[in-house]
Copies of this chain bind each other. A is one copy, B any other.
Amino acid sequence: MTVTAPKGFRAAGVTAGLKASGKPDVALVVNDGPDKSAAAVFTSNRVAAAPVHWSRQAISDGRADAVILNSGGANACTGAQGFQNAHTTAEKAADILGISAGDVVVCSTGLIGEQLPMDKILAGVEAASAGLAADGGHDAAVAIMTTDTVPKESVFTGTDSEGTEYTIGGIAKGAGMLAPGLATMLVVLTTDAVTNPEMLDVALRDAVRVTFNRADSDGCMSTNDTVVLLSSGASGAVPGEVDFTAGLTQVCAELARKLIGDAEGASHDIAIRAFNAASESDAEVVARAVARSNLFKTAIFGKDPNWGRVLSAVGTTDAVFEPDALSVTINGVEVCRKGGIGEDRSLVDLGPREVLVEIDLQAGDAEATILTNDLTHDYVHENSAYSS
């Protein structure tokens, strides 16, 4: 059910012929209300795609009635024509749905630097509108896939202080992350809780900060990353901000794990936890530096607990630590102790897909975890063959 699990939403996923594979490539999610509150976060890449420029405007009033998404083309670096195409797509959906184009969020993903085939896009919008269903969330999740091998979906159910139930649902695509991101990450979240745009904005930024922004597949930031949250208020439940944010964070965390778990070519899912840090920011910087080391990531692919590549990445940061106080534990084995040689590295078992690297900074009590994956032959293969 995913984005149609909360009351007040319909969705669809259809095949418009944008993908050479003939797989579904246009998705539509509609909020039937009664409320139309919304919030979104976008890529911080300065070379942002046309739909990102459009959607930033559309969401700026805290309202969105629908999200139209396409795979099979990013509509990025496409100039004035590209922006016009995003606008035209929104207008087409708005006309059919009887809403304002300014309340339609547009998302695209695919190859950068090609104009979208607008005849196919517009026919796809028509087909998706005709196919809208109260159980269409899964179809929408499938239609936004690019190199994803499985659709990513998550649902959370909570109750407010009066015991009234509300639901948060989400779909995601992209083997990566928000900023930076591998390929493009697109996420649509829905809820039937009674909210308001300010509450949604705060909750979404909080949730994204500790979930999607800490999933770092390959350090590359997309031009199209978008996370949009729509609220219908249809449940009548009025959750507190803390509870709502916790539920939203749970959905985002599950989707982030699924994105990293399906990252292009990955053979290991790696969690890098920096702890005993002077600040959460320090912990994040340290964990991210390790997550971006190609030498570390290839070592994990080779099942080689090469902890020197962890320390050499940590050493590039300006986080608070003393080099000879650092310890590193890989899958439970403390291979580096106080900057030097710890337990025998041959004790580390890197056979399982899940890998946990823990870095003790001995500088405070803050921590953060970055999710990433290994760098494999298949990553090189998939990304060397993507557009050709």
**Which residues does A use to contact B, with CB under 8 Å?**
44-48, 74, 76-79, 81-82, 111-115, 180, 182, 218-223, 292-295, 298-299, 301-304, 306-309, 311-317, 321, 323-324, 326, 335-336, 338-341, 345, 375-377, 379-381, 383-388
Q: Copy number of this protein in the oligomer?
A: 2
The answer to whether B112 touches A77 (Cβ under 8 A) is: no
The answer to whether B45 touches A316 (Cβ under 8 A) is: yes
CA distance A306 to B383 in the complex (A): 10
CA distance A323 to B303 in the complex (A): 41
The 9 closest A-B pairs by CB, nearest first: A112-B308, A302-B384, A47-B315, A79-B340, A298-B383, A45-B315, A46-B315, A304-B388, A298-B384
Find chain B residues with CB under 8 A from A303 CB.
388
Residue of B with least CB distance to A323? B47
The answer to whether A312 touches B223 (Cβ under 8 A) is: yes
Of A44, A77, A115, most B-chain CB atoms within 10 Å: A77
The answer to whether A380 touches B383 (Cβ under 8 A) is: no
Contact of A315 among B223, B381, B386 (CB under 8 A): B223
CA distance A44 to B299 in the complex (A): 23
Find chain B residues with CB under 8 A from A385 CB.
302, 304
The answer to whether A338 touches B111 (Cβ under 8 A) is: no
Find chain B residues with CB under 8 A from A48 CB.
315, 323
Closest-CB distance, A317 to chain B (whole angstroms): 8
Residue of B with least CB distance to A217? B294
Closest-CB distance, A358 to chain B (whole angstroms): 16
- Given A47-B311, A312-B112, A380-B380: A79 in contact with B302 (beta carbons within 8 A): no
Find chain B residues with CB under 8 A from A220 CB.
293-295, 309, 312-313
Of A298, A304, A324, most B-chain CB atoms within 10 Å: A298
Provide a sorted-by-A list of 27 A–B residue pairs whose CB atoms are within 8 angstroms: A45-B312, A47-B311, A47-B339, A74-B308, A76-B311, A79-B340, A81-B340, A82-B340, A112-B309, A112-B311, A112-B312, A113-B308, A115-B341, A180-B316, A182-B295, A220-B309, A223-B308, A223-B311, A223-B315, A294-B375, A301-B384, A302-B383, A303-B388, A304-B387, A377-B380, A379-B380, A380-B380
Closest-CB distance, A264 to chain B (whole angstroms): 10
Closest-CB distance, A119 to chain B (whole angstroms): 19
CA distance A180 to B79 in the complex (A): 36
The answer to whether A77 touches B384 (Cβ under 8 A) is: no
The answer to whether A386 touches B312 (Cβ under 8 A) is: no
Closest-CB distance, A157 to chain B (whole angstroms): 37
Find chain B residues with CB under 8 A from A321 CB.
46
Closest-CB distance, A82 to chain B (whole angstroms): 7
Contact of A77 among B299, B340, B380 (CB under 8 A): B340
CA distance A119 to B313 in the complex (A): 31
Taking A47-B311, A82-B340 as given, write out 15 further A-B residue pairs in contact, using a Cβ cutoff of 8 Å, ordered by the A residue number.
Answer: A45-B316, A47-B323, A47-B339, A48-B315, A76-B308, A77-B308, A77-B339, A78-B340, A79-B339, A219-B294, A223-B308, A299-B384, A299-B386, A304-B384, A379-B380
Residue of B with least CB distance to A340? B79
The answer to whether A386 touches B304 (Cβ under 8 A) is: yes
Contact of A299 among B115, B295, B323, B387 (CB under 8 A): B387
The answer to whether A302 touches B112 (Cβ under 8 A) is: no
